[in-house]
Structure 1
Amino acid sequence: MYTRVLVLAIILMMLSCSSKSGDFDVRDYGAVGDSLKINTVFIQKAIDACHKNGGGTVVIKDGIYISGTILLKDKVTLQIEQNATLLGSSNPLDYQSIDTFVDATGQERGNCLIGGIRLSDVSIIGDGIIDGNGAAFTYENIVAKKKELKINPNDKKFGINRPFLLRFVNSSNVKIKDIRLRQPAAWTCHFYQSHDIIVDNVSIYSHANQNNDGIDLDSSFNVEIKNCTIDTGDDAVCFKTTSPLPTHHIKVQNCNLKSEWGALKFGTESMGDFYNIEINDCQINDTRGGGIKILSVDGANIHDIQIENINMNNVDMPIFIRLGERLRTYRNADKQTVGSISKISIKNVIATTRNIKESRISPPTGIFMTGTPDHKIGKVTLENIAITLPGKGLISDLKEVSEQIDKYPEYSFFEVLPAYGIYGRHIEDLNMSGVQFDIKTKDERKSIVLQDVVTSTNDTLKIK
């Protein structure tokens, strides 16, 4: 009798310890990693149980688990182990929209694979994979899915809200670490009006669909992004403000970036301000749409930005700064007045542009900065910058550079510029030191053309 009581006591103690350890295996709640079963309900049950227990870790291991939208809860860590993949369902009906909004392209957004609203103390960790199955949401595959599910072929809303991979709204103390994020149908990570965020040692590969951004910080603050490898079809790291609230106090460091549109981008959605943002020690490779892009066109005041120690290889337009007057609004917010750009410091940059055949604008230019006649860019400091370009510019290529004050802010829309090194226009205080350009072949354009610019340089400005 005593022995039975002792054994029972030990079992109860082990169960108690197991509960306190906070590990919740999704398989215990009905999930099956066979790449066939839809596990949304079962994974959600594990998360809900973990939350009800006071928090802990929900573990996904050993297999491929298909799921629709799962909503994290406070104090819950979702751990995807190395031998596991969480794969997004191909059925749009398996997803939920969180805080639905219309983005700059006019498309409805809000669906996601993993996310939540007003969360606190949540994490996504592990060496496994979260794959959004974004190719399932291409136009052709959505048409096929309509036929499969017998959806009215004229239903234009079916599948249009392409799901983000991760989405957090009004949340705090969020950590994303070590995980491999793959192939969302739209943006990979979207943080909206959230704060105290760490993204560390995360690998992102996003080329399955359109608008495939890597990390979007939208009206958010107190964020650290470090040690990440990001390869995207759209912007790699993008600072946005689709509300009048600012994005501020951000650090990005030691990241490897590759993009088909922009590696480090401020805007274009830019209603709220951007400030106190530091970016350093990053490598940018094989990027077609611009290395560093700082864009205020919807009213943002962008200031106190420090970008240092950036190496770029095979990158279109290494530096593009644009103050414009588009003034688009989002989420029914009031239209802002024209913003400003000032106190921008870009130092220690080594860049090689793409060759003539691969450049969006051929021949390319290294640095392009422009305000408008009525709204000038403020203080910009360029220090220790070396850019290698292909040359081959011809005087016959040149046209008058249009102002485009209220247009989408993209450097390629201005066509060939009158300088191969720097073309600057409408700037109140441009400071240059240690700026040099190396052209591989003759270029008939000038190295630097400044119009309506107050500038100071020192003797270290060089042209090879």
Structure 2
Amino acid sequence: LIIMNLKHLLMLPAAAALAAGCCSSGARSGSLPAEMPFEMPAVVQPAIPARSVSVADFGASGDAHTLATGAFAAAIDALAEQGGGRVVVPAGVWYTGPIVLKDNIELHLEQNSMIVFSDDKSLYPLVQITFEGLNTWRCQSPVSATHAKNIAITGFGVIDGNGDAWRAVKRGKLTAGQWNAKVRSGGIVSEDGNTWYPSESFRFGATSGSDQNVSTWARTREDFEKMKDFLRPVLVAFHHCENVLLEGVTFQNSPCWHIHPAMCTNLTVRNITVRCPDYAQNGDGIDIESCKNVVLTGSRFDVGDDGICIKSGKDKAGRDRGIPCENIYVNDCIVFHGHGGFVVGSEMSGGVKNVLVSDCTFSGTDVGLRFKSTRGRGGVVENIHIRNIAMNNILQDALLFDLFYGGKSASEAAEEGGEPTDMALRPADETTPAFRNIHIRDVWCRGARRAMYFNGLPEMNVEQVVVENAWMQARTGAQICESTDVVLRNVTVVPEKGAALILNNVKDFRAEDFSCPAGLKCALTVTGSRNRNVRVASEEIGAANACLSARAAAAVTIE
């Protein structure tokens, strides 16, 4: 009877419907600065019809324990039959299984509302999906939409993925008390005693052969079912969608990545918060993959992996898809804990181009600006513009371009060491990744392990990078390897020890008005056999405190 009455209500003209949706007056544009460094169209937001229903009207209870999966589905279906509208989640704690959005649907969380997803894994069947740049099977996401147009999640509440029930955790990331509590809760401890698995299904998936989080041997659905718990879902997965808005809501405690829009057009994300424990394995904030026309503004991230990440598919699968991530504007965001503040890669095989990042703060991340790839990926990252970035307490590199990424966080890689020098060239082909045409200016960093690290391939250098108006204080200086046509202009590097500027196999390099503390021994260090046309202009660096290898000396001019 309730549903019949609601259907009758929904048949009324829009003017008589309840509350208007997020964009009921029609499509409007996402906000872009007056001047962009590349051509970018206005980002269209979803147009949601002016209808509104409460999930409570469909039998749901915000009592924190009554399962509301059916009520969410019924509310969405009822609106979808009439062309869409807003599903309102009132104050309370709404316990549910997966929610699937459809065309022209807005999920709106009112003040003091919280959606908590059940830890009953049987509610999340395996589905075919894109994850880590590959087509694979994963558990259904708590919130998802596929091939949908005009969808939104808005409001003031919290969406909680109940991720602790899903994730394995390494002993070294927990306190002794936290570890003991995990062990007492059940699950399985690895033979070496260093990893806790939530179930045998997870342990089997993690140890039977995987490329990071994608199985290397499973082919059939039956194969994947054997490791179902290992195939943790992304909290919000919107794939092949058009006109998408996320606004105001807090997304937290995901089983894996938090927000994963893939192959979407016109994505607006503003004033959201994303958070999870710092030990959350693969707890990325937002992974924007092969999307076109994106505005991300005014948002906060405090996560267990990369904060804001741009991707476009992995290896041959990504190259064959051939959909770049392009026309991206990121502004006024803060990333606290995480492996990287703003990140590109490592799955970037379809290419990344036309990106502007401005007025962002990174505090306590492993890396500030992190660009990562490796041989075999292919893909080109180009036309990147970064402005006005403030960083503090960066555990590793303030600025990192790494074409030798090995699947580990920067902190884990630093512990292992082994930086390549004077490596042999390999033939370059479609599997060779490239970073080029990158412009960075007005950057401040206090406290990092290393100011900068450019780590190109011998056969494909990091190319055409300009860093201008930067001040960086770090334990060690700027290290630039296997790079071509790099300009440091009005850059100050203040190392606690060692050289301020370390170059290895660089070509057409210019440091203009480069500053460092006076009196540094070996302030400039140049090594390698493939240096060419290196010019350094600095009041603090001269012949007396430049340490040049015999093979590099002829290529260096100090002005």
TM-score range, shorter chain: 0.7 to 0.9
Deviation, structure 1 residue 450: 1.3
Counterpart code for 1:322: D
Select the residue among 279, 294, 305 that pairs with 1:223: 294
Select the residue among 338, 345, 349 that pairs with 1:267: 345
Counterpart residue number, 2:235: 165
Measure the CA separation in 1 of the matches of 2:285 and 2:127.
Answer: 19
Cα distance change of structure 1 residues 266 and 153 upon mapping to structure 2, 3 Å threshold: closer
Measure the CA separation in 2 of the matches of 1:13 and 1:58.
Answer: 17
Q: Report % sequence identity.
A: 25
Measure the CA separation in 1 of the matches of 2:128 and 2:81.
Answer: 24
Counterpart residue number, 2:506: 453
Contact map agreement 1:291 1:318 (CA 8 A) in 2 = yes
Counterpart residue number, 2:460: 375
Q: Residue 44 of structure 1: SS of its match in structure 2? A: helix
Q: Residue 159 of structure 1: SS of its match in structure 2? A: helix
Contact map agreement 2:62 2:95 (CA 8 A) in 1 = yes
Q: Residue 432 of structure 2: SS of its match in structure 1? A: coil
Deviation, structure 1 residue 322: 2.0
Q: Deviations over 1:207-237 (max 9, x none)?
A: 2731000010111111110000111110000
Q: Residue 103 of structure 2: SS of its match in structure 1? A: coil
Counterpart residue number, 2:166: 137
Deviation, structure 1 residue 449: 1.5
Counterpart residue number, 2:367: 290
Measure the CA separation in 2 of the matches of 1:255 and 1:151.
Answer: 38
Deviation, structure 1 residue 304: 0.2
Select the residue among 213, 225, 241 that pairs with 2:284: 213
Counterpart code for 1:172: E
Contact map agreement 1:89 1:133 (CA 8 A) in 2 = yes
Cα distance change of structure 1 residues 48 and 429 upon mapping to structure 2, 3 Å threshold: same
Tell me the TM-score normalised to structure 1 length: 0.80
Deviation, structure 1 residue 175: 0.1
| Structural RMSD (CA) | 3.0
Cα distance change of structure 1 residues 369 and 151 upon mapping to structure 2, 3 Å threshold: closer
Cα distance change of structure 1 residues 203 and 142 upon mapping to structure 2, 3 Å threshold: farther
Counterpart residue number, 1:303: 382
Q: Deviations over 1:105-164 (max 9, x none)?
A: 9995453111111010000000011011111113466849xxx99999988524222121
Contact map agreement 1:263 1:290 (CA 8 A) in 2 = yes
Counterpart residue number, 2:493: 437
Deviation, structure 1 residue 25: 0.7
Counterpart residue number, 2:414: none
Measure the CA separation in 2 of the matches of 1:183 and 1:430.
Answer: 40
Tell me which moved more, 180-189 or 450-459.
450-459
Match runs of 1:44-63 below 5 Å: 44-63=73-92
Measure the CA separation in 1 of the matches of 2:467 and 2:146.
Answer: 40
Counterpart residue number, 1:407: none
Measure the CA separation in 2 of the matches of 1:188 and 1:17.
Answer: 37
Cα distance change of structure 1 residues 374 and 158 upon mapping to structure 2, 3 Å threshold: closer
Match runs of 1:110-259 below 5 Å: 111-139=140-168, 143=187, 156-207=226-277, 209-242=280-313, 243-244=318-319, 245-259=323-337
List runs of 5+ in structure 2 lacking aligned partners: 1-10, 19-48, 169-181, 189-197, 205-224, 408-428, 518-559
Contact map agreement 1:111 1:161 (CA 8 A) in 2 = no
Measure the CA separation in 2 of the matches of 1:375 and 1:326.
Answer: 17
Cα distance change of structure 1 residues 318 and 153 upon mapping to structure 2, 3 Å threshold: closer
Select the residue among 477, 482, 493 that pairs with 1:426: 482
Q: Residue 478 of structure 2: SS of its match in structure 1? A: strand
Contact map agreement 2:128 2:137 (CA 8 A) in 1 = no
Counterpart code for 2:480: G
Contact map agreement 1:108 1:160 (CA 8 A) in 2 = no
Tell me the TM-score normalised to structure 2 length: 0.67
Q: Deviations over 1:155-195 (max 9, x none)?
A: 85242221211110100100000111111111110011111
Contact map agreement 1:142 1:159 (CA 8 A) in 2 = no
